[in-house]
């Protein structure tokens, strides 16, 4: 039985042309930034997601996709490099952010790395993600590491501030040194099917980001259907998003494998039609090494091994690193360490 869940039309006679492309130029942008494309409401209208098929497909991931021994250690070390270490609490302080950045500099104890025979490798997370108020603190604490700072913007987590306020917040975060901006969409635009409004807003956010990469948070747990999730994913990609992301981590339902599969297959369809590769970031509720491995297996099978790089895949996580470090030590000693031996902040 076929598990194809997207009603994919035949490929167009020629690829879509990016926004602003002139006649006679290549319609495909160089690998890197998404240039943005015209809003295609006909494409949006053709999207169909089969929830039961998505659930059957993802149910097989955890059961038959297992990685053992040294291979598991290698995958877990890779997972660390795909992680946006995050603190987004109402009681965050400069000290907490500085401690998180110190952990980002040395995410795994050196004795564990030495025991695994990789003590000479540089293992670092993909980014540190904080509120705008702590961008400057994080930039200073990470100086010299090459680890970028990501800022959550646009009235995170609800996204309901005036547009001018949200654009200004993006501009201020970029000015403070943020190299990535995680914005949150207005869910009402999806629930009412106002795709032109969503498209224009994401375009405005992308422009405000300048050279900083734009990650769009859909708040998938509040979008009601997987059709809505898939359509919102496409509209954000057409508008120029570099990443699409599941959740703020504050919703009742955050990242799930079926939702992730719907978004990943939209990424694949978008790449097939435009030649542009978009990143994916599941966030919220990914706290165990086993769960991280499931998501990595999903990405490998659906999009290929090369998608398992920080440029194209991230985990939004705060406690995941602790469990990964415990699993790595267990592989060496046969014992699980107490959490306090791998403190985060």
Query: Phi, psi at residue 324, to the nearest 5°?
Result: -65, -45
Q: Across the strands, what pairs with 83?
A: 315
What confidence tens digit (pLDDT) does each residue in 208-236 have? 999 999 999 999 999 999 999 999 999 99
pLDDT tens, N- to C-terminus, the chain (345 residues): 223 333 333 334 345 667 654 433 333 333 468 999 999 999 999 999 999 999 999 999 877 656 777 889 999 999 999 999 999 999 999 999 999 999 999 999 999 999 999 999 999 999 999 999 999 999 999 999 999 999 999 999 999 999 999 999 999 999 999 999 999 999 999 999 999 999 999 999 999 999 999 999 999 999 999 999 999 999 999 999 999 999 999 999 999 999 999 999 999 999 999 999 999 999 998 999 999 999 999 999 999 999 999 999 999 988 899 999 999 998 888 887 777 676 666
State residue 28's pLDDT score. 35
Enumerate the active-site residues.
182, 245, 281
The whole-angstrom separation of Cα 221 and Cα 219 is 6
What separation in angstroms does the CA of 81 have from each of 218, 285, 319?
A: 23, 18, 15
The whole-angstrom separation of Cα 11 and Cα 5 is 17
Query: Phi, psi at residue 33, to the nearest 5°?
Result: -75, 150
Q: What is the per-residue burial (b if ≥16 Cβ within 10 Å, else e) of 38-76?
A: ebbeebbeebebbeebbeebbeebeeeeeeeeeebbebb
Alpha helices in the chain (DSSP H): 41-46, 51-64, 69-81, 94-105, 110-115, 135-141, 163-175, 187-191, 195-209, 226-238, 257-274, 289-303, 320-333
End-to-end Cα distance, the chain: 49
Domains of the chain: 41-341 (3.20.20.70)
What confidence tens digit (pLDDT) does each residue in 93-125 have? 999 999 999 999 999 999 999 999 999 999 999
The whole-angstrom separation of Cα 197 and Cα 300 is 34
The whole-angstrom separation of Cα 250 and Cα 89 is 10
Tokens of 318: 């705060």
State residue 240's pLDDT score. 98
What confidence tens digit (pLDDT) does each residue in 280-290 have? 999 998 999 99
């Amino acid at each position: 039985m076929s598990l194809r869940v997207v009603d994919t039309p035949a490929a167009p006679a020629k690829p879509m042309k990016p926004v602003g492309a002139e006649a006679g130029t290549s319609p495909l942008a160089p690998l890197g930034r998404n240039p943005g494309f015209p809003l295609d409401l006909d494409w949006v209208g053709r999207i169909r997601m089969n929830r039961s098929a998505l659930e059957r497909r993802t149910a097989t991931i955890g059961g038959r996709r297992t990685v053992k021994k040294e291979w598991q250690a290698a995958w877990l070390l890779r997972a660390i490099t795909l992680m946006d270490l995050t603190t987004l609490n109402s009681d965050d302080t400069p000290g907490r952010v500085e401690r998180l950045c110190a952990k980002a500099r040395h995410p795994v104890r050196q004795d564990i790395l030495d025991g695994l025979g990789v003590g000479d490798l540089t293992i670092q997370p993909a980014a540190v993600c904080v509120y705008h108020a702590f961008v400057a603190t994080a930039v200073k604490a990470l100086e010299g590491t090459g680890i970028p700072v990501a800022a959550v913007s646009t009235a995170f987590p609800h996204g309901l501030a005036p547009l001018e306020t949200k654009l200004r917040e993006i501009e201020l975060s970029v000015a403070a040194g943020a190299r990535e901006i995680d914005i949150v969409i207005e869910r009402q635009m999806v629930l009412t099917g106002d795709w032109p409004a969503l498209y224009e807003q994401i375009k405005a956010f992308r422009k405000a980001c300048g050279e900083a990469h734009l990650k769009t948070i859909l708040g998938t747990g509040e979008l009601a259907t997987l059709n809505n999730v898939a359509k919102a994913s496409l509209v954000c990609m057409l508008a120029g998003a570099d990443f699409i992301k599941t959740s703020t981590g504050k919703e009742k339902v955050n990242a799930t494998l079926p939702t992730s599969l719907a978004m990943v297959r939209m990424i694949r369809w978008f790449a097939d039609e435009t030649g542009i590769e978009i990143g994916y970031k599941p966030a919220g509720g990914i706290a165990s090494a086993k769960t991280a491995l499931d998501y990595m297996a999903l990405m490998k099978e659906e999009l290929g091994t090369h998608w398992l790089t920080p440029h194209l895949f991230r985990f939004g996580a705060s406690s995941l690193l602790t469990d990964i470090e415990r699993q790595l030590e267990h592989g060496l000693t046969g014992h699980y360490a107490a959490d306090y031996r791998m403190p985060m902040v």
